[in-house]
Amino acid sequence: MDKANLELASAVVGANYATQAENALRSHQRLIRILLEHKKLPEQGWSEETIELFLHDLAAMDSNNFLDNVGLGEREARIASGLVSRMHFRLGHGVGRSGDIAAIQPKAAGSSLMARLAECMMLDLLQQTGMTRAKSCIILPLATGMSIVMTLLTLRLSKPQAKYIVWSRIDQKTCLKAIVTAGYTPLIVEQRLNGDQLETDMAAMQRVLKETPNESIACVITTTSCFAPRAADDVVSVSLLCKEHGIPHVINNAYGVQIGKCMHEVNEAMRVGRVDAVVQSTDKNFLVPVGGAVIASQDKDFVTLISKTYPGRASGSPVLDLFITMLSLGSKGYKALVKERKENFAYLTTQLKEFAASVGERVLSTPGNKISLAVSLEKVQELLKPMKQDVSFFGSMLFSRRVSGTRVVSTTTEKTVAGISFKGYGAHHDAFPVPYMTAAAAVGMKKEEVDQFVRRLDATFSKLKRLSSKATSQGGQEKPSQKVGAAQNEEAADGAVSAEMTETKE
């Protein structure tokens, strides 16, 4: 309600009440004005009322919400379902134009403003969490893998003859499939085993870059956040190599924004070496639904080129989700989540070490990984032998007890991904010495979840001991059908998901 309408309202409800209402409205508008003026993430999160007020104003700026609009185009943001319309706050035009995902839409000033402000706030957030050298970013309505594909396709414009991408091995399908989808052949640099920890083999990386013609290499891809016992890649040393050889460097920082060490290393790599793009997931870092990624760079022109390479308009939903979440949290709210995550990681480490010691296992030493832990399963493997099961069965037992996100790795799995065969797939190494399970302390996790996890882990181990003892005494695994009641249901559930759990989680 503008000033003129408030003056008219005072004649209806009285000047005192109208003035009070005007002051309340001004408190909302002041926050919006500061955001538009500074284009920075608010320090303090906004109330839902302020966010909704702003979103309704933005929607009113799009042509599909004009009171007297007549739409004659093939795309007029007409939405059949009122529920869908309200779910998207009547922002139906998406983001970008057919030639540039970052372009302003003539029919959607409100949606375009929302997208630009989201990118400004995201850049500010990346800088505040440690990536101070990032100068530009773009939010794509694509998850991490396809956003890596877009980055690689953009690099192709400057090196059209390149055939290879040098890739530091990580046993997670997305990045490898992104390389192949973009039309490249990966040159795989295996991890180096140092004690329990898998690390970047810099000697092997140097050898590959020396032996392969520069013009045939599109880029090097490294990874920060990952499952233990793999450590984050040595992105600083790799960036120096890339600078020396004049080869682009892309960092897969999928869930690294929440990890202070990862952000520091990425920023240092930008400072001393070459980093062309850093890709991070929106859902893994910012607690929004799956479907978006942020590509950041020191090079504004490269980010602009990515936006021009993207074909067609794009969904505005992932951008809207991020826009609302950033305004809700503010920088203080997000930093509090990051601090809580760090504390939970330390707590999870302590609790898992106590559990592991009590059952004859150990937490593997992986100081280069600040989000994921690995617990040996050598004792578990022995207990499973009389049952004629591999360690994946232990993972199925946990999953049937509503423990999600853990990975159980046998280290002997052979798997073909994107036409490439791997030994020991899931372990990031051909011959990792022990089977293990992983657990991560990610942003949004609560301390109470750690406690519940360790209790269920302990109960599952105890159940496994009983099953193993019974199988030993009977000379083999007892069939689930021989059980009755709750025991039958529980063991049947373990067996039902066992096959599924042998697949490496993404």
Q: How far apart are CA 352 and CA 373, in angstroms?
A: 9
Mean pLDDT of the region 91-116: 92
The pLDDT of residue 501 is 45
Per-residue pLDDT band for 500 (boundaries 50, 70, 90) equals very low
Mean pLDDT of the region 278-307: 97
Residue 472 has pLDDT above 50, yes or no: yes
The residue among 182 and 497 whose pLDDT is bigger is 182
The pLDDT of residue 427 is 95
Nearest to residue 436, comparing CAs of 360, 381, 502?
A: 381
The residue among 28 and 476 whose pLDDT is bigger is 28
Structure-token pair, residue 287: 């607690």
Q: Lowest mean pLDDT of 180-184, 326-330, 413-417, 443-447, name the range.
A: 413-417
Residue 121 has pLDDT above 70, yes or no: yes
The residue among 105 and 334 whose pLDDT is bigger is 334
Per-residue pLDDT band for 74 (boundaries 50, 70, 90) equals confident
User: How many beta carbons lie within 10 A of that of residue 476, not counting itself?
Assistant: 10
Q: How far apart are CA 60 and CA 66, in angstroms?
A: 7
In the chain, count H helices and then E strands.
Answer: 17, 14
Query: pLDDT digit string (tens) for 404-460?
Result: 999 999 988 899 999 999 999 999 999 999 999 999 999 999 999 999 999 999 999
The mean of the pLDDT values for the chain is 92
Residue 489 CB partners (closer than 8 Å, separation 6+)? none
Write down the pTM of the prediction. 0.92
Residue 479 has pLDDT above 90, yes or no: no
